[in-house]
């Protein structure tokens, strides 16, 4: 058993315990804090999986802003849950159990954890790493590819194209070193754009809903 696996098991056990605690605890303030700690431990787990961007987001959003917003909401709803809930809802347990069993059954078809021969590493990722996805034939991307082949290595400033000083290939030969940003901003550009719009709409909705409520109160 590798050290990596030990750390993973430890962190994920902690995450599960924190999640259950966040649901079970009666004090809402405690629940908000536990949710923040949950995000922080998840950020550690993402870091051990080398998903630094995800870890970054989890730490900033989950542990940072979300906790502040939850506590801000607590000012309005009070610090404690009103009434104790039923301990176990059998119907819910059955539904959740069946769904969970199906999900576990689904993972049986997946390649082993960390398998380098998994399709995700061989099928599309290669082109994503080369940042060639979405380059149209006949478009500037084709020239891009030609420049790239001539440049050979990504991190070497090279001059390949003609005498035009503006044609100097930049340090990264058109690559953006942070692959995640590259995928998010270009390959999934529409997705990211409408994510931004969703955030904008969320802010606008907050303004519309809560500002109107204040006027009604008056």
Partner 1 sequence: MKEQLVLRVVAKCLIPPILIFGCYIITHGELSPGGGFQGGIVLASAFILHALIHGRATLHQAFPRNLWATIATIGALIFAGVGTYSLLRGGQFLDYGWIVPSHPAKGEPWGMTLVEYGVGLTVCSVMVLIYDMISEPAEDDPTVDEDSA
The nearer residue to partner 1, 125 or 169, going by C-beta atoms, is 169
Q: 39, 21, 28: which is closest to 79 by C-alpha?
A: 28
The nearer residue to partner 1, 122 or 159, going by C-beta atoms, is 159
If one asks whether residue 13 binds partner 1 (CB under 8 A), the answer comes out as no
**The two structure tokens encoding residue 80:** 């404690």
If one asks whether residue 20 binds partner 1 (CB under 8 A), the answer comes out as no
Select from 5, 6, 20, 60 the one that contacts partner 1 (CB under 8 A).
60
Least distance in angstroms from the C-beta of 42 to partner 1: 15
Please give the residues from 27 up to 56 whose contact with partner 1 meets the rule CB under 8 A: 52-53, 55-56
Total residues contacting partner 1 by CB under 8 A comes to 62
Least distance in angstroms from the C-beta of 174 to partner 1: 3
If one asks whether residue 166 binds partner 1 (CB under 8 A), the answer comes out as yes
Q: How many CB atoms lie within 10 A of CB 159?
A: 12
Select from 6, 12, 73, 101 the one that contacts partner 1 (CB under 8 A).
73
Least distance in angstroms from the C-beta of 146 to partner 1: 10
Residue 155, judged by CB atoms within 10 A of its CB (0-12, 13-18, 19+), counts as exposed
Please give the residues from 117 up to 146 whose contact with partner 1 meets the rule CB under 8 A: 131, 134-136, 139-141, 143-144
SS3 letters across the chain: CCHHHHHHHHHHHHHHHHHHHHHHCCEHHHHHHHHHHHHHHHHHHHHHCCCHHHHHHHHHHHHHHHHHHHHHHHHHHCCECCCCCCCCCHHHHHHHHHHHHHHHHHHCCCCCCCCCCCHHHHCCHHHHHHCCCCCCCCCHHHHHHHHHHHHCCCCCCCCCCCCCHHHCCCCCCCCCCCHHHHHHHHHCHHHHHHHHHHHHHHHHHHHHHHHHHHHHHC
If one asks whether residue 150 binds partner 1 (CB under 8 A), the answer comes out as no
Contact region with partner 1 (CB under 8 A), list: 6-14, 21-29, 99-107, 210-218: 210-218
Footprint of partner 1 (CB under 8 A): 52-53, 55-57, 60-61, 64-65, 68-69, 72-73, 75-76, 131, 134-136, 139-141, 143-144, 147-148, 166-167, 169-170, 172-174, 176-178, 180-182, 184-186, 189-190, 192-193, 196-197, 199-200, 202-204, 206-207, 209-211, 213-214, 217-218
């Amino acid at each position: 058993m590798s050290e990596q696996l030990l750390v993973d098991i430890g962190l994920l056990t902690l995450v599960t315990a924190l999640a259950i605690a966040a649901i079970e605890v009666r004090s809402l303030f405690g629940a908000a804090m536990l949710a923040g700690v949950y995000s922080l431990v998840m950020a550690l787990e993402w870091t051990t999986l080398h998903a630094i961007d995800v870890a970054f987001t989890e730490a900033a959003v989950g542990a940072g802003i979300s906790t502040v917003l939850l506590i801000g909401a607590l000012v309005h709803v009070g610090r404690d849950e009103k009434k104790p809930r039923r301990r176990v809802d059998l119907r819910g347990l059955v539904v959740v159990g069946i769904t969970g069993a199906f999900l576990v059954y689904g993972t049986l078809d997946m390649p082993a954890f960390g398998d380098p021969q998994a399709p995700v590493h061989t099928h599309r990722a290669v082109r994503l790493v080369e940042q060639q996805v979405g380059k149209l034939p006949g478009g500037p991307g084709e020239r891009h590819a030609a420049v790239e082949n001539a440049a050979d290595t990504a991190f070497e400033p090279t001059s390949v194209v003609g005498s035009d000083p503006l044609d100097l290939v930049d340090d990264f030969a058109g690559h953006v070193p942070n692959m995640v940003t590259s995928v998010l901003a270009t390959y999934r550009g529409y997705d990211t754009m409408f994510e931004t719009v969703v955030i904008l709409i969320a802010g606008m909705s907050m303004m519309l809903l809560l500002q109107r409520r204040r006027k009604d109160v008056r």
